Amino acid sequence: MLFVQIVLLIDIYNSVYLVKSRSDLKILVIIPAYNEQVSISMVVKSVNQSLPEADIIVINDGSKDSTLSVAAGSGAKVISLPYNLGIGAAVQTGFMIAHNGKYDVAVQVDGDGQHDPQEIGVLLDHLLNSDSDVVIGSRYLINLGYVTPIARLLGIRILAKYISILCKKRLTDTTSGFRASNRRAIQVCASSYPSDYPEPESLVTFNKIGINTSEVPVSMNQRYGGKSSITPFWSAYYMIKVILAVTILSLRRAPNLEDKTNDF
Amino acid sequence: MISDRLTLFVIVAALGLLILVLEMVRRRALAEKYSLLWLGLAVIILVLAVARPALDRIAPVLGIYYAPSALFVTGFVGLLVILLYFSAVITQLTRRSRTAAQHIGILTERIEQIESKIKRDSDPK
């Protein structure tokens, strides 16, 4: 009797603690890349170094440079889109693969090297030890030394404030593409992911369909190579466009989550 | 019945549009479902232009006191509807081509993997 109880206790212990350990999880790291031949190899290698158990997939979004061959040479699995679809659609392609491959966690890391792959562990730990479905690496939650040009910082602050109000929760880095998502969020992102301003827009969608998000502080590097999609000059313009897009989105019905990925 | 030159011009233009659209559909340069709005607009304008007495009565109701202007208003509203419809069609096509491109990307990688696996398996070492 006692023996059975002990076995039972061990079972419970296993199911509660051990299953939640990182090594049992199937993790997919999604790296969207558009003209990132300078940085992509470094990004893949350092992801592989800090998370050797994870599968890495580079989504080459119709690059015009040699991103494809460099990424393939770095040992990652590469999906090449036939023409440039934009970051949102590229990331969604990664989520489709994560969903089809029944991955437990999908981590997004930008191909330009601004996210530090060593910090993926921080995202993962928080994802496993909280009720969040999506954990976002924030540059602004606490100051870890990331320097942002003044104009852009102002835009980011206003945007964060606005989206915080829309989502009724405090968000500090709404444009961060450094995220970890669990199965529930993977399923949502695979079937419906915004394409114009995916990072801020997806936050509003998450809020709408009850996907829990939370932020953890990360440091992030200054860009390694290539060009940012947001130059300082366009910050204000970008912010206004995003605010408009997000406002319209918040008035829209929650997306219909039909499964577009079943055919694979 | 055709009282002024303007009405005559409108009738000729509407007939021209009607014939052009029908011809394009016949040559398969225009799909039927995208031609219907054009045909509808051409026919409405044609009818209004030919049936001048009716137009003279309808126009004042809309606050238009120079009846032929009502023809242009009709044409303008019709064009707006057509443009809006085509914007919606473009949106849908964009979404579909995006999904298609994503599937092409995923499937291409899969084929490459399968091919290299077959090559490896059939390679007599």
Examine residue A233 and state whether it is found in any structural domain, yes or no.
yes
Closest chain A C-alpha to B41 CA, distance in angstroms: 32
State the count of interchain CB pairs (< 8 A) between A and B: 37
Residue that wins the pLDDT comparison between B5 and A90: A90
pLDDT digits (tens, 9 = 90+) for A95-136: 999 999 999 999 999 999 889 999 999 999 999 999 999 999
Examine residue A110 and state whether it is found in any structural domain, yes or no.
yes
Q: Which of A214, A60, A50 lies closest to A116, judged by CA?
A: A50
For residue B94, give the 3-state DSSP assignment.
helix
Examine residue A1 and state whether it is found in any structural domain, yes or no.
no
Q: How confident is the model at residue A225 (pLDDT cuts 50, 70, 90)?
A: very low
Say if the Cβ atoms of B102 and A92 lie within 8 Å: yes
Examine residue B90 and state whether it is found in any structural domain, yes or no.
yes
Cβ-contact A246, A171 below 8 angstroms: no
Domain housing A210: 24-251
- Give the pairing of strands A105-108 and A27-33: parallel
Say if the Cβ atoms of B109 and A79 lie within 8 Å: yes
pLDDT the model gives residue A212: 94
Examine residue A257 and state whether it is found in any structural domain, yes or no.
no
The DSSP symbol for B5 reads H
Closest chain B C-alpha to A258 CA, distance in angstroms: 13
- In whole angstroms, what is the distance from residue A65 CA to residue B57 CA? 66
pLDDT the model gives residue A263: 45
Say if the Cβ atoms of B98 and A96 lie within 8 Å: no
The pair of three-digit structure tokens given for residue A42, joined into one six-digit string = 């470094």
Instruction: Name residue A135's beta-bridge partners.
Output: A180, A214
Closest chain B C-alpha to A68 CA, distance in angstroms: 12
Say if the Cβ atoms of A195 and B102 lie within 8 Å: no
Q: Choose the weakest-confidence range: A21-30, A40-49, B91-100.
A: A21-30
Say if the Cβ atoms of A82 and B101 lie within 8 Å: yes
For residue B43, give the 3-state DSSP assignment.
helix
Examine residue B125 and state whether it is found in any structural domain, yes or no.
no
Low-confidence residues of chain B: pLDDT under 50: 1
Q: How confident is the model at residue A178 (pLDDT cuts 50, 70, 90)?
A: very high
Examine residue B50 and state whether it is found in any structural domain, yes or no.
yes
Q: Which residues of A touch B (CB under 8 A)?
A: 59, 77-83, 85, 89, 92-93, 96-97, 195, 260, 263-264
Which of A81, A97, A263 minimises the CB distance to B101? A81
Q: Which residues of B touch A (CB under 8 A)?
A: 98-99, 101-110
Closest chain B C-alpha to A213 CA, distance in angstroms: 26
- Number of domains into which chain A is organized: 1
Token pair 């997919």 in the structure block, residue: A28
- In whole angstroms, what is the distance from residue A27 CA to residue A23 CA? 9
Q: Which of A71, A67, A69 lies closest to A57, judged by CA?
A: A71
Q: Which residues of A touch B111 (CB under 8 A)?
A: none
Examine residue A5 and state whether it is found in any structural domain, yes or no.
no
pLDDT the model gives residue A18: 46
Q: Choose the weakest-confidence range: A15-19, A22-26, A97-101, A133-137.
A: A15-19
Examine residue B103 and state whether it is found in any structural domain, yes or no.
yes
pLDDT the model gives residue B1: 46
Domain housing B45: 5-120
Beta strand segments in A21-109, E: 27-33, 55-60, 77-80, 105-108
Domain CATH code at residue A210? 3.90.550.10
ipTM: 0.81
| Nearest chain B residue (CA) to A100 | B106
Residue A187 has pLDDT above 50, yes or no: yes
| Nearest chain A residue (CA) to B98 | A85
- Number of domains into which chain B is organized: 1
- In whole angstroms, what is the distance from residue A88 CA to residue A85 CA? 8
